[in-house]
Amino acid sequence: MLEQVKQKARAILERKEADGVLGLRKGPFDVIHPHVFTAPAELDALVLEPKWLFAKMARSILRDRPAPYRLAVVVRGCDERAIVELAKRGQIDRDRLPTIGYACDADQARACLCSRPYPEKLDAGTAVDGIDPFADERVKAYLGGKAAERMEKWAAQLRRCIKCYGCRNSCPICICVPCKLEDDVWVERGVIPAEMVPFHLIRAFHLSDTCVACGACQEACPVGIPLMTLQLSMRAALKRDYNYEAGLDAERKSPVLFDFIKEPRPGQQVPDWVDSAGKKP
């Protein structure tokens, strides 16, 4: 699989389809770090592990370099879906960001609770079946049981928060400036742990229709809060009620923003719309 990715990257560079290829480089002493490869000869050092997600990084690289600069990027399935979401929001010009997609293996899928461990545009590797995250014991521990028990369990986890902003910083879709989590109207400054509702639930709701389940937030969390699990329920609700999954269909926009009236929950009547001022539109 690695050879296929290298071959694809080499072809892109040789045909000058991109100014560089963003991926992981294993340098001297086996040290691994992100790198923009610019010469075919460099590609011997390209590796695929450990998991680094490049969508947000690619966005900032493209933003700082106007067309005709083009960047190719090595992506897993989740990274590709993040790019799709960013493109829907006008944050990435996909014509300037060709992808080299490769499939994750079953172990990675299990570790990430991933239901779709491969990109749509698969250039290397073989797609394996994803897992059902709701069948996983780690998820059941937080989403099963009585509401009061769940609340206490979540509260115990969120009390650990050291307010590092790692979840926000590492989330590929979390790009708003200014950020509500930095606003002291919502989040009290100078205090840890960050509060459950104004910090964690605001973040979760802000991503409710854009989360691509990449797991970056949880991996960045120094104290191990199961942030992915927090997001899974909202993804499931969107799937159930609107048949929508973030990051899949490049043309389809979020139903939360665009489709509420047209696509209510199956069997449910269109609600009588009232805005917060009590007036009908």
Point out which residues bind other proteins (CB under 8 A).
Answer: 19-20, 28-36, 38, 50-52, 57, 60-61, 64, 156, 159-160, 162-166, 169-170, 182, 189-190, 192-193, 219-224
Alpha-carbon distance of 234 to 251, in angstroms, equals: 21
Instruction: Decide whether 107 or 132 has the Cβ nearer to other proteins.
Output: 107
Phi/psi at 236 (5° precision): -65, -40
Minimal distance, residue 57 CB to other proteins, in Å: 8
- The CA-to-CA distance between both ends of the chain, in Å, stands at 54
Minimal distance, residue 154 CB to other proteins, in Å: 14
Minimal distance, residue 229 CB to other proteins, in Å: 14
Alpha-carbon distance of 67 to 96, in angstroms, equals: 8
Cα-Cα-Cα-Cα torsion 216, 209, 105, 141, nearest 10 degrees, comes to: 80
CB atoms near residue 173 (< 10 Å): 24
Instruction: Decide whether 170 or 242 has the Cβ nearer to other proteins.
Output: 170
Instruction: Decide whether 89 or 159 has the Cβ nearer to other proteins.
Output: 159
Minimal distance, residue 193 CB to other proteins, in Å: 6
Instruction: Decide whether 27 or 271 has the Cβ nearer to other proteins.
Output: 27
Torsion sign (Cα): 207, 169, 108, 81: positive
